Amino acid sequence: MPKALTIQRSTVPTTERGNYTKRLKALQSHYAAANCRFWVFEETSLPGAFIEFTEADDEQTLTTAHANAPQDA
């Protein structure tokens, strides 16, 4: 079965880590409600470097979820 996946890399300064974590929680809720899966990994060798993966069962679901994602999250 085909899937759709996007990947985004973010570098977060230590001073912004709390805001980033708050944003991730909002995005997790949004993507779960949109039938998407959302994972975030921090690179162990480079603290503050994160990779975000968002996956859906089809491209349209993922595209719609991204378009409706909270911008201030």
Over residues 32-63, the pLDDT tens digits come to 999 999 999 999 999 999 999 999 999 999 99
Give me the pLDDT at residue 2, please: 83
> Which token pair is 36?
């998407």
Across the range 11-15, mean pLDDT stands at 96
pLDDT at 9 over 90: yes
Say whether 39 sits in a helix, a strand or coil: strand
CA angle in degrees (0–180, nearest 5) for 36-2-41:
45
pLDDT-based confidence at residue 73 (cuts at 50, 70, 90) = low
Q: Which residues touch 58 (CB under 8 Å, ≥6 apart)?
A: 2, 3, 4
